[in-house]
């Protein structure tokens, strides 16, 4: 157990955390980055990234995160692969405690803990992660042009994903566990009017199959009833659209959040309701959830932190 004083503590990694580290380092703030239990964030589970500017040939997710990490270290960011387990924002310096009971007393804190996609809990989801299973149609839909895909979910997000994929894929199955869509009327209308979207109501996914990637899904319809039937659909991509949950549990009661737990920044800045605490990336973004937008807010958070420290 130890206690150390820091000017800037960045909690979380990924595009937001590492970019904040790059900018804070270049401002001679000597930031300390706690990577958390998933160093590099969600992109370390992604294979090819083709929509991040500067990579015309694309890049593997883990490789890009390794490069961002290296860039942050090059300018002086100190990175530790541990988890912050508790925070006290009631007074400055802020008291943050890690999993080994080490205490960091920070003049400013940048929260970049990200968000995690919700999954069905099937073993096959992990087996085929990056090989047909995805939680982001905008990120990975490009790889399924003229192919068959499935989207799981019945809300606005699922309908948006299905519509986006319908513009790329040959056929889109929308797997809905209830007998109705929860999406808004306008979204339902668009989905129903899109010829290459087929809605599978009262359906649940039992599993996925394929040799070197997803080749199909096993579906059960009307599960637990006398009308239950099991069938397969041929798909190349399986997209989860049942929501995300922000990784913000340890900040509850101290930082303003919405009903789902996303941190509410004081736009247009990245300031939170606690002076000296800033939020960047997916933990404060329920809408876009893209690597490039997360990196942008990481930059802004570092600049906001720099100005705060100069004023105080």
Give the residue from 178, 168, 166 showing the smallest Cα distance to 242: 178
Give the residue from 274, 263, 262, 264 showing the smallest Cα distance to 305: 274
Q: Helix 291-311 to helix 14-26 angle, to the nearest 10 degrees?
A: 40
Catalytic positions, please? 136, 139-140
Gap between the Cα atoms of 220 and 9, Å rounded: 48
CB atoms under 10 Å from CB of 70, counted, come to 11
> What DSSP assignment string belongs to 153-218?
--SHHHHHHHHHHHTTSSEEEEE-SSSS--S-HHHHHHHHT-TTEEEETTEEEEEEE-SSS--EEE
Gap between the Cα atoms of 150 and 165, Å rounded: 9
* Residue 78, burial from CB neighbour count under 10 angstroms (0-12, 13-18, 19+): middle
Task: For residue 250, give both structure tokens.
Answer: 């340890």
The secondary element (H helix, E strand) that includes residue 277 is strand 277-279
């Amino acid at each position: 157990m130890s206690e150390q004083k820091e000017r800037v503590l960045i909690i979380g990694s990924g595009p937001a955390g590492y970019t904040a580290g790059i900018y804070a380092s270049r401002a001679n703030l000597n930031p300390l980055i706690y990577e958390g239990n998933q160093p590099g964030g969600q992109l370390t589970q992604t294979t090819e990234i083709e929509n991040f500017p500067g990579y015309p040939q694309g890049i593997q997710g883990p490789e890009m995160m390794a490069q961002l990490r290296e860039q942050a270290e090059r300018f002086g960011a100190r990175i530790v692969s541990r988890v912050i387990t508790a925070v006290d924002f009631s007074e400055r310096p802020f008291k943050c405690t890690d999993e080994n009971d080490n205490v960091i007393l920070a003049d400013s804190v940048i929260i970049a803990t990200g968000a995690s996609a919700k999954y069905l809990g099937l073993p096959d989801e992990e087996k085929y992660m990056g090989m047909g299973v995805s939680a982001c149609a905008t990120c990975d839909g490009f790889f399924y042009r003229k192919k068959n895909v499935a989207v799981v979910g019945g809300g606005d997000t699922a309908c948006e994903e299905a519509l986006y994929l319908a513009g790329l894929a040959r056929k889109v199955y929308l797997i809905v566990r209830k007998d109705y869509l929860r999406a808004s009327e306008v979204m339902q209308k668009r989905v129903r009017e899109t010829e290459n979207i087929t809605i599978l109501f009262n359906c649940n996914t039992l599993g996925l199959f394929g040799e070197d990637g997803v080749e199909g899904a096993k579906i059960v319809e009307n599960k637990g009833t006398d009308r239950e039937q099991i069938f397969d659909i041929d798909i190349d991509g399986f997209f989860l659209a049942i929501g995300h949950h922000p990784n913000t549990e340890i900040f509850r009661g101290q930082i303003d959040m919405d009903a789902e737990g996303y941190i509410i920044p004081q736009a247009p800045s990245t300031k939170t309701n606690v002076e000296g605490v800033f939020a960047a990336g997916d933990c404060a973004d329920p809408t876009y959830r893209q690597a490039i937008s997360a990196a942008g807010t990481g930059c802004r958070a570092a600049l906001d932190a720099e100005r705060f420290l100069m004023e105080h």
